Structure 1
Amino acid sequence: MRIGELAEAVGVTTRTVRHYHHLGLLPEPERRANGYRDYSLRHAVTLARIRRLTELGLGLAEVRDVLADDAGKDLVEVLTELDEDLARQERAIRERRARLRELLDVEELPAEGPVSPELAALFARTAAELSDSPMAARDREVLALIETAASPEERERLLTVVGAVVASPEAVAHANEAYALLDALADAGPDDPRVETAARRLAECTPRELLPEAGVVDDDNSFLRALYADFAPAQAEAIRRTLRILAEGT
Structure 2
Amino acid sequence: MTDGLTIGQAAAFVGVTIKTVRHYHRLGLVAEPERDGSGYRRYLSADLFRLVQVRTLAGAGVPLAEIGDLLDADPERFAATLDDVHRRLTEQIEDLTARRDRLHRLDHGDRALLPDRACAVLDRLPDLGFSPDYVAGQREALVLARTLVPEIFDSFLTRLEHSLDDPQSVELTKRGLDARYWDPDDPRIEEVAFTLADKLLANRALLAMPTGFQNQSDAASRYGLVNHHREDQAPSIARLNTLVEANLRAAGIDIPHQ
TM over 0.5: yes
Per the alignment, residue 184 of structure 2 pairs with: 193
Amino acid paired to 2:84: E
Letter in 2 for 1:249: R
Bigger shift: residues 207-216 or 194-203: 194-203
Report deviation, 1:87.
Answer: 6.0
Does 2:8 correspond to 1:8?
A: no
Partners of 1:171 and 1:91 lie apart in 2 by 43
* Kept in 1: contact 2:125–2:135 (CA 8 A): no
Higher relative CO (CA 8 A, sep ≥ 6), structure 1 or 2?
2
Unaligned runs of 5+ in 2: 201-205, 251-258
Report the equivalent of 1:76: 79
Q: CA offsets, 1:65-110, max 9 Å, x none?
A: 31242x3432201222344456667888999999xxxx9xxxxx97
What is the letter of the counterpart of residue 213 of structure 1? F
> 1:46-85, aligned counterparts within 5 Å?
46-69=50-73, 71-84=74-87
Distance change in 2, residues 1:13/1:225 (3 Å): farther
* 1:176-196 residue CA offsets vs partner (Å, 9 max, x unmatched): 2344445x59xxxxxx73799
Q: TM-score, normalised by structure 1?
A: 0.63
Deviation at 1:163, TM superposition (A): 1.1
SS in 1 for 2:158: helix
- Deviation readout 1:36-69 (Å, 9 max, x if unpaired): 5444433321221112112333232342431242
Gap runs ≥5 in structure 1: 104-108, 186-191
RMSD: 5.0
Decide which moves more: 6-15 or 140-149: 140-149
Give the TM-score normalised by structure 2. Answer: 0.61
Find the counterpart in structure 2 of residue 162 from structure 1. 160
Partner of 1:17: 21
Moved more, 158-167 or 172-181: 172-181
**Identity of paired residues, percent?**
24
